[in-house]
Amino acid sequence: MNRQYLSWPSALVLLGFGSSLAPAIAATPSLEVPAPTHDAHLISQINLPKQDVGSPNSTVGGGKRGGCLTREMSALFRPVLPIDESGTAIANTTSSTPSLWWYVPANSAVKAELSVFTQDNTNDSLVHYQMIDDIGSEAGLLQITLPNNAIKADNSYWWDLTLACDEIDRSGDVYLFGSITRQNPENVSIRRNPAVIDTLITTLLGSDSYLTLDVSEAQELANALQMSTDDRTVTMVESRLRDHFIAVQSDYAQLSQSMQNQNISNAELKNLKQQRSGMMLELAQLSAFFDMWGDTANFLAMGRDEHPEEWQSLLDNLFPQDDPFTEAEEDEIIRVLRMSPSL
C-alpha cells in the first residue's frame, strides 16, 4: 500500500508535539479558461467507484430579458456531486461541518443564497440560511461550509443554492437543489454492487493505493472478496474498513487541530501539511467506497492544486462523456473545472 504519510503517533514524536490535540456546477460556453498542457499525462492513483449519473434538476425563473443567467448557462449549473436517477444531487457526509462545492459562472446576480431544510413529509424546517454577496464578479468554484452541527447525524436535509437576479423581483431567480445526509461514521456501509466490489479489490491490491492499511491485511481482505462476495464476507470487509476509516478520520482531526498551533515552526507546518495531504487522499478514497460523496468531493476539491490528477479523476467520474447527447456539455464542464479558481 502507498505510505503517503507517517502514522500520526510517529509524526507527533518527530515534530515534538504532545498528545493532547483536538478534525455546482455551471459552465459557460463562452468562458475563456486555458486548458492545461499536461492533462493528458496525469495518472491518477485513486480508484473511484463508477456512479450512475442522472441529469441535475435546475430551474430558471421567468426568463426575463437581462436576467443574470441565460437558460443555456443555467442548464450547466450543477454542484460538484453525483446526481441520482431522479436528478437530485446527493451530498452524503460524515462531517459535522460539511462543505458543498459549486461552479458559478460570471453573472449579474445581486447575491446568492444557500438554504438548508429538514426533510419532513409535513413540514420543511429551515436549519441554515447563508447569503453570499458579490457572487457575479468572477467565475469560479464556490465552497460553502455549514456551521458545526447545523445538520444532525442520521438525518437528511434538502438544500438549494439560488442566484437572485433582482433584489425585489425574484421571478427570474436561478437555483439548484439537492439532498444532504449526515451519517454516523459507525453506520456507513459499502454499496453491494459488483462494480464497487471489483474497484475495492483493485484498490486493496494496488501497490500505489492511498490506503494505509497494512499490506498483509489489505491482501487478506482482497482475497476474501475474490473468493466470495456473499453478504457475510462483504460485511466482514466493511467492518474492518470502517474501523480504519474512523481511525484515519480521528488522525486527520488531530492533525488539523495541531496546525492551528501558533507556536509551530514553518518547517513543522510544512511537514504537517504533507501529512494532511496524504490523509485527505485516503479519506477521499474511503469516503467514496462508503458512498460519502460529499466528503470525497470536498477533499479532492481542497487538494486540487496539489493533486490535479485526482481532481481530474473525480470530474471524469461525476461527468462521464459516454452519452452522445451530452458529450460536448460534459467536456466543457470538465475543461472549465480543471482550472477554476476558488471564489
Measure the CA–CA gap between 336 and 212, rounded to whole angstroms: 33
Q: Are 65 and 169 in contact (CB under 8 A)?
A: no
Q: Which amino acid is residue 109, in one-letter code? A: A
Q: Are 255 and 276 in contact (CB under 8 A)?
A: yes
Give the pairing of strands 155-164 and 174-182. antiparallel
Count of Cβ atoms closer than 10 Å to residue 16 Cβ: 9
Please state which architecture CATH assigns to domain 39-187. Answer: Sandwich (2.60)
Measure the CA–CA gap between 96 and 274, rounded to whole angstroms: 24
DSSP 208-270: T-S--S-HHHHHHHHHHHHH--SHHHHHHHHHHHHHHHHHHHHHHHHHHHHTT-TT--HHHHH
pLDDT value at residue 323? 52
Q: Which amino acid is residue 23, in one-letter code? A: P
Rounded average pLDDT per 10-residue block, the chain, 343 residues:
50 37 35 40 77 60 56 76 89 98 90 93 83 85 96 95 91 90 97 94 93 96 98 98 98 95 93 95 97 98 96 90 58 84 89
Measure the CA–CA gap between 59 and 254, rounded to whole angstroms: 41
Q: Name the one residue in this structure whose C-alpha cell is 436517477.
A: 85
Bin 291: left if φ > 0, else alpha if -120 < ψ < 50, else beta: left
DSSP 114-132: EEEEE--SS---EEEEEEE
pLDDT value at residue 77? 78
Domains in the chain: boundaries = 8-23+188-296, 39-187
Measure the CA–CA gap between 308 and 329, rounded to whole angstroms: 21
Cell of 101: 462545492
Q: Can you give the pTM of this predicted structure?
A: 0.84
Cell of 46: 485513486
DSSP letter for 340, please. Answer: P
